[in-house]
Amino acid sequence: MALQYRQILALLVTWLVASAGIAPPAVAQPQDSVEVLTMHELYRQVLTHHPLAAQAALLAQQAEQELRMARGGFDPVLSSKYGEKQYTGKDYYRYWESSLRIPLWFGPELVAGYDRNQGDYLNPERATPDRGLSYAGISIPLGQGLFTDARRATIRQAQLLPRMAEANRLKLVNKLLLEVAKDYWDWLYYYNEVQVYQEALELAEIRTKAVNERARLGDLAAIDTVEARTEALNRRVLLSQALQQYNNSKLRLEMHLWGEDSQPLTLPASAIPSSAGTELNPLSPGDLQALLAQAKANHPDLIKLDLKGQQLEVERRYAADKLKPKLNLEYNLLQRDFYLNEEALRGPYMRNNYRLGVSFSQPLFLRQERGKLQLTKLKQQDVVLQQSHAVREIENTVQMVYSEWLALEEQIALQEQMVVNARTLQAGEVVKFQSGESSLFLINSREQKLLESQIKLYSLRSKYAKVKAQLYWSAGNMQRE
């Protein structure tokens, strides 16, 4: 009776362990000290402290400074010049000329200045009264530069830079989060693989002890002990390989962990991944169409191409304006002294005390200007073609990832059933062995199929989570995941 009791007890332990499914975490610390790191907590850590995320945030500041530089083209300019000449005791000349020019957004420039020039050999054209000569007026472009010019074109293009910087930032963040997601789900897969092989090894070791005991008592052949030990060694090798891959995946994930002041961090020894995010989350065709519509409206690549097209339109208008002749008119009201005299604002005074200038120039062939305009138009056509291709590529990519999403949902459902079936077959084989109708080799074979089915299921779930991340990346916004 004692022998039969030990045999039944050993087989019962074997069957219970085999039917228990996944064991508690074996790579981490005891359950009370486990720290679960979820995907969204990792995202938050990466977005807060990762150097690439900080680098992406700098793009907006750079765009603001580019816009600031462009606005500098409309800064008032104050200039002053002084010179004198003394030779052989003669006062040749002394001059002091100061001016202020204020560009206006719509083209003209306000001009004001004060000149005080004296000397025995001064050019009469530059002569001024003893107390100096002040002037105020306006310079107006009547041809080229009336509706647009280099300054206005530059600032209009610079006004688009903040939106372009945001699109670039979103693209960099999307790429970073996709890499983080892939590394995280790899970490989870290898973690689960270790659990499976850890359980399998424990099961093989328990069975080896039971077989050794039965062989010692003469109930089993000695060759069965070799079969049991061989299987235990095989599973120990598989566990060792799985641990190596798990540790490597953990190191890859740690590359994304940074603290304040860009200090690299490591995962705590008790940290384990969460399976939240691997569960099936069906996406309906309506949800897919909504995702495609959002991708067309908000995908960073499409936004960048649209903004590039707007910049080229500004450039085209400026190039077209360069075909016009340069015709500039400048009028300055003159008066003695620096301070404004009320008489200077009256009609008769303004008609008799002024400085007027008109300038005109026009290239005869306009080859440079026409070439620039045609080149800009060709660039615009290129952007339109890029937009068409990008829209088609984004749509196809989202559709392909969605198809993979649906296929994985079906595969996971089938694989779950295969795991159930494999566990049933393995448990049945144990019962048959218990009644003397099976062998240790067949039990090991059934368990091996169960292990393969479990690992395949974890692999599919990890792949499913990656595809989910890739779908939102393809649509242009990983942060919606």
Give the C-alpha distances (Å, rounded to integers) separating 338 from 124, 132, 135, 401. Answer: 20, 7, 8, 75
Per-10-residue mean pLDDT for the chain, 481 residues long?
41 42 40 80 94 92 95 96 92 94 94 93 88 93 94 96 95 95 97 96 91 85 88 94 97 94 90 93 91 94 97 97 96 84 78 92 95 97 97 96 96 96 92 82 90 96 96 86 60
Clarify whether residues 163 and 150 are in a common domain.
no
Residues 462, 399: Cα–Cα separation, whole Å:
20
Beta bridge partners, 185, equal none
Clarify whether residues 301 and 338 are in a common domain.
no
Clarify whether residues 43 and 175 are in a common domain.
yes
The verdict on residue 138 lying in a domain is yes
Residues 379, 365: Cα–Cα separation, whole Å:
23
SS (H, E, C) 292-304: HHHHHHHCHHHHH
Clarify whether residues 10 and 123 are in a common domain.
no
Judge contact between 191 and 246, C-beta under 8 A: yes
Residues 313, 70: Cα–Cα separation, whole Å:
18
Residues 45, 263: Cα–Cα separation, whole Å:
13
What pLDDT shows up at residue 33?
A: 66
Clarify whether residues 291 and 396 are in a common domain.
yes
The verdict on residue 436 lying in a domain is yes
Question: What phi and psi values does residue 273 have, to the nearest 5 degrees?
Answer: -80, 160
The verdict on residue 374 lying in a domain is no
Number of domains into which the chain is organized: 2
Clarify whether residues 206 and 57 are in a common domain.
yes
Clarify whether residues 176 and 245 are in a common domain.
yes
Q: Range of 128's domain? A: 75-158+325-365
The verdict on residue 152 lying in a domain is yes
Judge contact between 170 and 162, C-beta under 8 A: no
How confident is the model over 420-448, as pLDDT tens digits?
A: 999 999 999 888 887 878 888 888 899 99
Clarify whether residues 102 and 42 are in a common domain.
no
Q: Which residues of 230-266 are buried (b: 16+ CB within 10 A; e: fewer)?
A: ebbeebeebbeebbeebeebbeebbebbbeeeeeeee
Task: Find the farthest-apart pair of alpha carbons in the chain and give their distance in angstroms, rounded.
Answer: 140
Residues 384, 471: Cα–Cα separation, whole Å:
25
Q: Cβ neighbours of residue 164 under 8 Å, at least 6 residues apart?
A: 63, 303, 304, 307, 308
